[in-house]
Structure 1
Amino acid sequence: MAYYNREPEITNMIKSHERRANRMLQHAQSSRLLEAFNKIWVSIENKELPNFVSKNVMDFNVADIKSEINDWIKDLKDCQENARRKFESMEDPSPEDLRKRNNITSDVVLLISQYENLKNGLDQVEQDFSNVARTHRAPMREALTDISILYNSVNHVKGDFSDYKNVSVYVHGIEDDGDGFNNSVRKAAKDGDIIIRINSDKTREYYIIEIINGEKVIKRVEGLKKLKDTKQYKEKAGRLHIVYETEHMNEHRQATSDDLAEKLNEMGLMNEETKIDMFGHSYGGRRSLQFAMDYPVHVRSITTIGTPYDKNILAIGANRARWLADSPLAKRHTMDTSEYLDFKEDNRNNDEGKDYSNAYTDMDSEAMTEDINHLKSANPEVYQKLQKMDITAAAGYRTEDTVSFSPYYTASGKHKINSDDIVSVESQHGDILGDLIDKKPEIEVKGSGVTNPGHIYEVEDSEFVDLIQEVNKKEAE
């Protein structure tokens, strides 16, 4: 855009906008913001704006800056409208009058386009800052939780459930919620136990277990205050079961670990006496192992079923073809994710400039053995604590009617043919985790194929409910 062809009205307006831009940049103290402005200003006036960055503290609001630019656009439109009205009011406009009106109109159109481009550039600046902030938010949040746990320990701060010694925490997988474990825990719970369901919307449900006329009865209690009046809470002779539903369906395992630690600490369960037994289904097993890696002192055992400890083929496909995975047919909801952003770029994905990390990116790029090996070299004491935990990795499998032909015999009937059609037995058993896994039971589950896999039936299988009871009894003893 040639500066010398502009009409005085446009030239004066740009100078006014430049002065206002300089004031904003001087206040913002952001070289990234200056870069976005200069990219446009070079096109407008063939020069860059002064560099006012002299501090380490950045202070700017993108919405306010965009509002200012909208005012500039209004100035330009008003100028164009005034030129039009003035020209139309002339009884006998000269060729010079026509040229002036056309010049103003042409400049306004081009300048508005540049200002709109500037606003788009500001959106990218805001997204860049948001991504950076989210990258550093996770370790900061984890550190704050650790400080809170330490403070409660040193100052003997007790939560509402601090006196419980035996606690089971149940964590579901992706594309799932707490309903599956909620049903399993009801079957596994014993007389005197309490069940707390923490929902994704942060609401909580409370249930007590008692035996009436020889039958197990599960009663819902409305609110914590009424729970405290129950025999089960006062005596604390039973086990506390916590069915934890993640706030986001596909949130990254680290986000779940941070959320869970914060909530358990608020309940008074992150103390020296309470021992937590983790139960995870599918990706919930990764989440549980991550929590154990982060808080090994508080975890006594981990029991998983159907967990993809290795990379997962279906997750890789869903992550790399999100448009297909999120279609009405597949309904994978791959973008339903928390704001956690993994430090490892390979563990991230990008959607229109926004970086994010969730269960799909995690299982696409990383097998759990990578984190375990890193932990083993960086913090061998934590790895030793994992070795001492009771870790059970159960695998779901199925059988089919098959016929085997050979030159010598024909065999038919039901045969164990493979895993649950979603996760291989080797992955479910955590073979890549080396000597961490203590037991590797196999449970036959119903279901078949990818559309109705045995994977979705594992958590409610009667054999897995028996396993929950067995683990809870053994660990309590």
Structure 2
Amino acid sequence: MAYYNREPEITNMIKSHESRANRILQHAQSSRLLEAFNKIWVSIENKELPNFVSKNVMDFNVADIKSEINDWIKDLKDCQENARRKFESMEDPSPEDLRKRNNITSDVVLLISQYENLKNGLDQVEQDFSNVARTHRAPMREALTDISILYNSVNHVKGDFSDYKNVSVYVHGIEDSGKGFYESVKEAAQKGDVIVRIVKNGKNEYEYEYIYINSDGQSIKRKTYEAIKKEISKDNYKTGRLHIVYDTDYMNEHRQATSDDLAEKLNEMGLMNEETKIDMFGHSYGGRRSLQFAMDYPDHVRSITTIGTPYDKNLLATGANRARWLADNAAGRKTTDTSDYLDFNEENKNNDNGKDYSNAYTDMDSEAMTDDINHLKSANPEVYQKLQKMDITAAAGYRTEDTVSFSPYYTASGKHKINSDDIVSVESQHGDILGDLIDEKPEFEVEGSGVTNSGHIHEIRDSDFIDLIRKVNKKEAE
């Protein structure tokens, strides 16, 4: 840009904008924001703006700054329009008048282009800041939950469900909601039990559904827990087991995000205490989520029971994560549908239009659960020892198919076992990579075939698995 040819109107306007830019930067205290402004200001004025950054706290709103820059653009356009009108009002404009109008027009076009580039740069600053903030928000949230749990314990703060000593928590996978578990749990629950389903509504808020299994074995559904307690008092029945069917914020959210949110909800309910023992049940990726919760809160978890859980890396997740456009458009996977959680592990991140994210697909693509277990052994062997003492059952689903022979000398009929549920191998479902942590490895034959109607999606409603839920709950209560 030819700085020496600028007309006084443009020069004065730039000085005004520079003054306003300095006020913005002095208030914001952000070196990253200063960098974005200087990148443009060197092109405009061949100099950098003063560095006002002296604090560690950043305070700026990108939308407000962009609105300010839009005002600058309007100033320039008004200047150009005034120059045009003045020139056209002249009866006999001189070559100098023409040169002045053309200079102003040229400068305005170039300056507006630079200001638009600055706005684009601000979008990147905002995205970078958001990504960094989300990376650090996860451990902060976990720490605040831990403080809340400790506060409730020291001050004997009780929630509505503090009297329950035997609690089952059911965590779904990434291709479904808690609805499948909800139906299975209603079959597995015993007389005197209470079922609570925690569901996310359309307003991005949690709602609670309550069911009580009375002494006649009937399911009594009520809108509030107070109403459920009245039904319990009618029965004069001893307190049974509390079943919590939990829906994640996002179907594909990362296991750590689920663990953090679940801990917060259970603490609000009064269940994160020294007496209450939690038995975790997980289907598919819900098993990873359950194991993560157990690693985070080992003193509160008594057992883990999973079915169809990909404890190892998963080929389908790898394909979905690396060809997201295909998985999203052709298979409706919503691979970027995720919470704001961002993993510290660089390999467990992905990017969508500038936004870094981590979810179930990135997790299963980059990390087998044995990686976290090995880290845990080194960093916190006491927690690993607590995991060893837990009852951990890793159930696997399998299918059978008709025997097919292509030999003219051999014909056979009947069924033969397929060592896969079409989605997750039996070896991965059994958690073989977890070593001596797994105590039992039952197998159940499941329905379904292929990827679209795989045995995997039928596991959670399988009668053998429902029976396993009953057995585990009875055993752990005893």
Residue-pair matches, total: 473
TM-score (norm. length: structure 1): 0.97
Cα distance in 1 for partners of 2:180, 2:399 equals: 19
| Greater CA drift, 109-118 or 281-290 | 109-118
Question: Alpha-carbon deviation of 1:200?
Answer: 2.1
- Superposed, 1:237-316 pairs within 5 Å as 237-316=239-318
Which letter does structure 2 place at the counterpart of 1:82?
Answer: N
Question: Alpha-carbon deviation of 1:409?
Answer: 4.3
Q: SS in structure 2 opposite 1:229?
A: helix
Counterpart residue number, 2:450? 449
Counterpart residue number, 2:154? 154
Contact 1:403 1:413 in 2 (8 A): no
Which letter does structure 1 place at the counterpart of 2:54?
Answer: S
- Superposed, 1:31-430 pairs within 5 Å as 31-201=31-201, 202-212=206-216, 216-231=217-232, 237-327=239-329, 329-404=330-405, 409-430=410-431
Which letter does structure 1 place at the counterpart of 2:254?
Answer: H
Deviations 1:393-423 (A, max 9, x none): 0111111002246697433321002211000
Which letter does structure 1 place at the counterpart of 2:333?
Answer: R
| Percent of matched pairs sharing the same residue | 85
Q: SS in structure 1 opposite 2:213?
A: strand
Cα distance in 1 for partners of 2:288, 2:127 equals: 29
Contact 2:215 2:237 in 1 (8 A): no
TM-score (norm. length: structure 2): 0.96
Contact 1:277 1:302 in 2 (8 A): yes
Cα distance in 1 for partners of 2:169, 2:181 equals: 10
Which letter does structure 1 place at the counterpart of 2:337?
Answer: D
Which letter does structure 2 place at the counterpart of 1:476?
Answer: A
Question: Alpha-carbon deviation of 1:97?
Answer: 1.8
Q: Over aligned residues, Cα RMSD in angstroms? A: 1.4
Counterpart residue number, 2:9? 9
* Alpha-carbon spacing, 1:91–1:271, altered in 2? closer, same or farther (3 Å): same
Which letter does structure 2 place at the counterpart of 1:124?
Answer: Q
Structure 1 residue ranges (4+ consecutive) displaced by more than 3 angstroms after TM superposition: 232-236, 404-410
Question: Alpha-carbon deviation of 1:346?
Answer: 0.7
Cα distance in 1 for partners of 2:270, 2:231 equals: 19
Q: SS in structure 2 opposite 1:411?
A: coil
**Uncovered stretches (5+) of structure 1, i.e. residues with no partner:** none
Deviations 1:180-238 (A, max 9, x none): 001100110111110000002310100111243xxx32121121221232216985521
Which letter does structure 2 place at the counterpart of 1:343?
Answer: F
**Uncovered stretches (5+) of structure 2, i.e. residues with no partner:** none
| Greater CA drift, 402-411 or 168-177 | 402-411
Cα distance in 2 for partners of 1:475, 1:54 equals: 58
Deviations 1:329-362 (A, max 9, x none): 3100112101001011111111111111100110
* Alpha-carbon spacing, 1:149–1:236, altered in 2? closer, same or farther (3 Å): farther
Q: SS in structure 1 opposite 2:230?
A: coil
Q: SS in structure 2 opposite 1:410?
A: coil
